[in-house]
Amino acid sequence: MAKKKQARRLIASMLCLISLLQGCAVSKYAPEQKIPPKQLQNDVAVLQKTLQQNHPGLYWYATKASIDSAFKALEESAKDSLTELSFHNNIARMLATIECGHTAVRFSKQYVKYLIESRYPMFPLYLYNWENHLYVLKNMHSKDTNLIRGLEVSAINHISAQQIIDSLYQYISADANNHWFKAQVISNNFPAWYKMIFGLDTMYQIQYIDTLGIQRETSIKNYSPKEDTVHQQAKIIRSSKAYPLPSKKISALEQKRSLRIDSLHRFAYMHVSSFSGGRLRGFFRRSFRELHKMKIPNLIIDVRGNGGGNVNKSVLLTKYLIQQPFKVADTAASVHRTMWDKSHIVPWWLYWFPMQFGSFKGSDGWFHSRRIENHVYQPKTKHHYNGKVLLLQDGYTFSAAAMFTGALKGQSNIQIIGTPSGGAYYGNNAMFLPHIKLPNSLMRVTLPMYRVVLNNNRPKNGKGVLPDIAVIPLQHQHLTFPPNALQLAVQQILQNK
């Protein structure tokens, strides 16, 4: 017995020692530390070569001259030492010229951890971007009676709103430079974007238009929560989505997807925030079974803020609603069957097998996905929904979510309400999305492997899915609030009863 106790103590001591040694071995990340030029240049070379070898839409919406010029500027910037933030922003600016919403750069994992730990202080205003104007969505200084929700901010530190928006747009990748997508990205988290590009100041001079329409100026300081709330996560400000608003804390699954039925007014509201996770297959099956059982004649499906996810889940939801057979895409083609220098592609092995054995070389020299181009999906027969459907979308309805609304656009029982989607109606670069891991900075760049033409008959102009009913902001006494597509949808249903 005594020997067993001794052995346990010895094991416990060894584990403590290993833990302490590991703690000592891990050096604290220093965000201000600069990366030497030679390492930066190596990262730029890897990025450029990989994109040129494998990106299927490098010159789809942008010209070769503009891409070459952007690469040249990135190479020039790498001649001096840079912090990770500066290098990240330079890469983001270069990638934005490709005009592909799926091709974007992410910070290294160490820098992401640093960002989470150093979230505060932050720029104190969440601002909503609508057609090159900025409006207060939330003031983190809740006792401030000057900068209230809805006021237009015309300048920050004497830089006009238009200049700020134009500057931020240069760092955001979007399909065919879709400004609806870029505007929504900024609106989702203006403080983070402002801090990343313009940095932090102790105080800010804010020019704004008050409720009488008079131009005024005030100062506001950074926001940091009180010590007892430092671990609380501030909400990301997004458009109002829930109906009715839940009275209790909702689960993580309900945040991903939910269904609420108004039996009195005979309509249902389905919210799908992503096509990834959320146990969607079972959720869709139960939801449409319940709608069929209760004979609900009107359905609102909200995919605002849905950035995409699993295409198969998007297809599944489409099958419950569409009235004719359909394909995911007319064309899904990659430049090569494999990836240039797999050592920089993460995780290359996950995509190697389907690209090798699931594609064929076409007469155009590209490698086409058999399954995507040839498989025809049939509408669901069991619990297929045939009532009136209102789809809600916004500028952040992207990728698989835009494919969903695009596939249903024009169907007689379906109307789309909102703004143009962020995802292109004609096509995009998507499907397989590994990362290029840059060897020195350890930043990651998303690399789409397939050029996808959703429908050859659609105009190739890069625009998003256009709504049937466009929404505009709500205005009252020089105050401007985000458009409420949900409210408009409910009104449509109640008026047509």
Looking at the fold, whether 287 and 381 belong to one and the same domain comes out as yes
Scan for tokens 């969440």, then name that residue: 126
In a domain, 202, yes or no: yes
pTM of the model: 0.88
Residue 491 has pLDDT above 70, yes or no: yes
Dihedral of the alpha carbons of 318, 322, 328, 330, in degrees to the nearest 10:
-160
Residue where a domain stops, chosen among 50, 81, 115: 115
Smallest CA-to-CA distance from 449 within 470, 437, 461, 435 is with: 435
pLDDT at 351: 84
Short-list 472, 488, 469, 489, CA closest to 480: 472
- 386 and 482 co-located in one domain: yes
Any domain includes 349: no
Q: Which amino acid is at 478?
A: H
At 353 the pLDDT is 84
Alpha helices of 176-323 — where are they, by DSSP H?
Answer: 179-188, 190-198, 252-256, 280-294, 311-319
The reply to whether 212 and 269 lie within a common domain is no
256 located within any domain: yes
Task: Clarify whether residues 43 and 85 are in a common domain.
Answer: yes
Find out whether 326 and 318 touch, Cβ atoms under 8 Å.
yes
The pLDDT assigned to 247 comes to: 45
Task: Tell me, yes or no, whether 403 and 322 share the same domain.
Answer: yes
The 10s digit of each residue's pLDDT in 335-344 is 988 877 788 9
Output the pLDDT for position 299. 98
Question: Domain holding 284: CATH number?
Answer: 3.90.226.10
Whether residues 44 and 131 share a domain: the answer is no
Q: Tell me the DSSP string of 53-92.
A: HH-TTTTTSS-HHHHHHHHHHHHHHTTS-EEHHHHHHHHH
- Beta bridge partners, 430, equal 450
Residues 276 and 420 in one domain: yes
Same domain (yes/no): 219, 258: no
Q: What is the pLDDT of residue 13?
A: 57
Which helix or strand (DSSP H or E) is residue 3 part of?
helix 2-25
Q: Does residue 395 form part of some domain?
A: yes
* Assigned domain for 434 exists: no
Give the end of a domain, one of 62, 95, 115: 115
DSSP symbol at 20: H
The pLDDT of residue 462:
86
Residues 410 and 297 in one domain: yes
Are residues 479 and 394 part of one domain?
A: yes
> Number of structural domains, the chain?
3
Q: What is the pLDDT of residues 4-19, one digit of tens each?
A: 555 555 555 555 544 5
- Is 347 contained in some domain? no
Q: Does residue 94 fall inside a structural domain?
A: yes
Residues 190 and 91 in one domain: no
Residue with the bigger pLDDT between 200 and 497: it is 200
Angle, helix 109-117 to helix 84-96, in steps of 10 degrees: 110
Please tell me which residue, 337 or 44, carries the higher pLDDT value. 44
26: left (phi over 0), alpha (psi -120 to 50) or beta: beta
Domain span at residue 379 reads: 252-328+375-425+462-495
Residues 91 and 173 in one domain: no
Q: Residue 22 domain-assigned?
A: no
